[in-house]
A and B are shown apart, each in its own frame.
Chain A
Amino acid sequence: MNHFEQQSYYELLEIPFSASQAQILGAYTQAMETYAPDSIAVYTLVDPGQLDALHQRLAQARDVLCTLEQRLEYDRLLGVTRTPEELASLRIEALKRSADTEAVPAEAEAQTPSPELSAVEAVELSEAEVVEDALVVEAAAPVVEAAAPVVEAAAPVVEADAPVVEEDPIIEVTPVEASEVVGVEAALVVVEESSPTNVPPVPVESAPPPSPEPLVAAEPAPSTPDASSPDSPPGAKPVIHARPSAPVRRHGAVVPPPLPPRQALRPTPARLESKPPRSGVRPGQQLGEAPVPPPAAPSLPAEPPLNPASMKGRDSRTRLKTIVDIAADTEFNGELLRQVREGLSLSPHSLADRTRISVRHVENIEADRYDSLPVSVYLRGMLMSIARELGLDPVQVSRSYMTLASSEDKKKR
């Protein structure tokens, strides 16, 4: 278990609550240096999987803290209070940054990142790719039910200048009104903290579904209630569902719906995210919010940009992006992994191919044949690759599986 998973974003980056944007980016760069794969400081202390997990979280931390609205929301969860002066200077900083971004011709293609923002934007760019990727792949995915809206949704994304819009909520709010790209904006608006007022009506009407999915989080991560409501109409699949139906619903709504595709696209960060606030704030809040989606809206923005950023390192070429509603504390055993794989219509062979793990291991893992599995350091790596391939949270999968495996082990001895 990695202790850093319990650190707040501020602790993680080793910066004070008052850190400026420049400090945050500086700390991030510094941390990436400290935790480079060949860094001497982690020699023999960690395995590559742990380092990957740290990198993902560092990126999350940077993304959230560098987007003012998300940062303020995150602060609220942590219980950080700010003086008006502090707030003002943070806002000024954010405005400046927006201005900078705008200065780079807004119509410029995603390929021209502003120099000052290169770090963030570079990531955004790849995020954008991932998003497109995800949407497109998803459209192709077997589970898709409503083909038309999805295609429609996918197309605009490609056109829209996703990175800019996304990174720069304040400026980009405007396009939301442009009706033909509703689907896409919906995706991007989430980031937009500024629209909590819009949110309420929509999800309410799409009422908490009767929850046909056994696996849908009973105590979902903050995003989940929304994620599932537009997504899981009565006939939804049990374990997995791509959320193609979302755009459809969106068309009916005048206002951008609360739950953008992007939200649903990344179950992982939502889950990771739910851990850091050590105060019990988050869980309590979830409980309160679960039945009534609207208030959840403000907390949403904290999550959005996370997953794509963290995924960017992994090759996004062929990887399927799965949307799986799985509770944060779900324990993964082989059987569950098998179900997810089958839900994706992947054969054990193709999973083995994609992960470059031998079929034998894949089958042993799925059959929970702990005795036949390789030693833990290899097993962990395999589980993480499989999880990534299946669109699951690698850390959660490997940890829970390993715990299971080792407790079985103990029983035998």
Chain B
Amino acid sequence: VEPTGNARARPHRIIAVGGGKGGIGKSLVSSNLGVALAARGQRVLLVDADLGGANLHTSLGVSQPTATLSDFLLRPKSRLEDVIVPTGVPNLSLIAGALDVLDAANIKYAHKQRLLRSLQTQSVDYLILDLGAGSSFNTLDFFIIADHGVLVLLPEPTSVENAYRFVKAAFFRRLQQVESEYGIERLVERALSTREGSNRTPMEIVQHVRQQSPALAAKLEKELAAFRVKLVLNQARTDGDVKVSAAVVSAWKKFFGLEMDDFGVIRYDDEAWRAVRKRRPIVLEKPESPAALGIQSIADRLLALDGVTSP
């Protein structure tokens, strides 16, 4: 995706929060990260990109938003800016997910392109996309436009399984955007559609390209290295759980050959679900709770990475 317009007419950074499995805390991470960044003086726009299961507004305590994404999708004339609603938190605004249309998850290609384009022209400091569960292209396509792809993981086999699946799918989907340049269409297609192919690693694809052109291979290698997912481990109950993120980072490197960043741990915390029940972000409700502190340090890390100094 090409950056459009001048530097001002686009978000400073796009964060996409995904993870494959449902119920792992994607919305919790998105909303609280949004609040934490807003509290650090960043202008943040949260977008509920869970097209079939929107509920981000509820995490934020915004009851039945007056405008949603479907207003934008169904009325081709309206601008995305028109469906932005305030959240009550300074610096933080929201585009709520589609609530009224039941087939919103099956968004048409043209609609998706228009939405993606519009999202990329929002002039805020951070655009946070809260993705739905699963690894459908509609979900992946939001993930791969992001500067920071955040992968939420629980220390459970089910979550790990879906996370690997999700991140591999995202990787190959990303590759699909550049494949024609490298003559690897068939490899990528096989990777996405066959069991054998999905076991291909980036290194093998680079090697394949190298046979034709070492220069192209070097370029591709660079491009692939940019696919660097940020891992957030949620609901860690034990010290052993905490180690899972480092282990996943290590395994991803050893077996898939790509870097992943261990971006932080959110401790399992009863306060977290109490806050959800109250429909309040935990960083506001219980700022000193372990879960809230975990999110705060993730926000700090993100700003440090982007070279932003908070006022």
A interface with B by C-beta (< 8 Å): 1-4, 6-7, 12, 14, 31, 34-35, 39-46, 50, 54, 376, 406
Choose the segment among B48-56, B75-83, B250-258 that binds chain A (4+ C-beta atoms closer than 8 Å): B250-258
In this complex, the member of B156, B247, B254, B255 whose beta carbon has the largest number of chain A beta carbons within 10 angstroms is B254
In whole angstroms, how far apart are the Cα atoms of A80 and B12 in the complex?
40
Q: Which residues in B have their C-beta under 8 angstroms from that of A34?
A: 243, 246-247, 250-251
In whole angstroms, how far apart are the Cα atoms of A408 and B252 in the complex?
30
Q: Pick the residue among A35, A54, A406 that contacts B196 (CB under 8 A).
A: A406
CB distance from A31 to the nearest CB of B (A): 8
Instruction: State whether A41 touches B257 (Cβ < 8 A).
Output: no
Interface class of chain A by DSSP: helix
B interface with A by C-beta (< 8 Å): 155-157, 160-161, 164-165, 196, 201, 203-204, 243-244, 246-248, 250-257
CB distance from B159 to the nearest CB of A (A): 9
Q: Which residues in A have their C-beta under 8 angstroms from that of B204?
A: 1
Q: A40-B157, A43-B157, A45-B164 are in contact. Are A3 and B248 (CB under 8 A)?
A: no
CB distance from B203 to the nearest CB of A (A): 6
In whole angstroms, how far apart are the Cα atoms of A3 and B207 in the complex?
12
List, sorted by A's number, 20 A–B pairs whose CB atoms are closer than 8 Å: A2-B254, A3-B201, A3-B254, A4-B253, A4-B255, A6-B203, A14-B250, A34-B243, A34-B247, A41-B247, A41-B248, A42-B255, A43-B160, A43-B164, A44-B160, A44-B161, A44-B165, A45-B252, A46-B255, A406-B196
Q: Pick the residue among B196, B201, B250 that contacts A41 (CB under 8 A).
A: B250
Q: Which residues in A have their C-beta under 8 angstroms from that of B250?
A: 14, 31, 34, 41
Q: Which residues in A have their C-beta under 8 angstroms from that of B254?
A: 2-4, 7, 12, 54
Q: A3-B256, A3-B257, A406-B196 are in contact. Are A41 and B203 (CB under 8 A)?
A: no
Instruction: State whether A46 touches B251 (Cβ < 8 A).
Output: yes
Instruction: State whether B201 touches A1 (Cβ < 8 A).
Output: yes
In whole angstroms, how far apart are the Cα atoms of A4 and B155 in the complex?
24
* B250 to A, closest residue via Cβ: A34
Instruction: State whether A40 touches B155 (Cβ < 8 A).
Output: yes
CB distance from B83 to the nearest CB of A (A): 38
Instruction: State whether B251 touches A1 (Cβ < 8 A).
Output: no
Q: Which residues in A have their C-beta under 8 angstroms from that of B155?
A: 40
Instruction: State whether B203 touches A45 (Cβ < 8 A).
Output: no
Instruction: State whether A35 touches B251 (Cβ < 8 A).
Output: yes
CB distance from A337 to the nearest CB of B (A): 22
In whole angstroms, how far apart are the Cα atoms of A1 and B202 in the complex?
10
Instruction: State whether A1 touches B160 (Cβ < 8 A).
Output: no
Instruction: State whether A39 touches B247 (Cβ < 8 A).
Output: yes
Q: Which residues in A have their C-beta under 8 angstroms from that of B161?
A: 43-44
* A4 to B, closest residue via Cβ: B254
CB distance from A133 to the nearest CB of B (A): 30
Q: Which residues in A have their C-beta under 8 angstroms from that of B257?
A: 3, 6
Instruction: State whether B201 touches A45 (Cβ < 8 A).
Output: no
Instruction: State whether B164 touches A3 (Cβ < 8 A).
Output: no
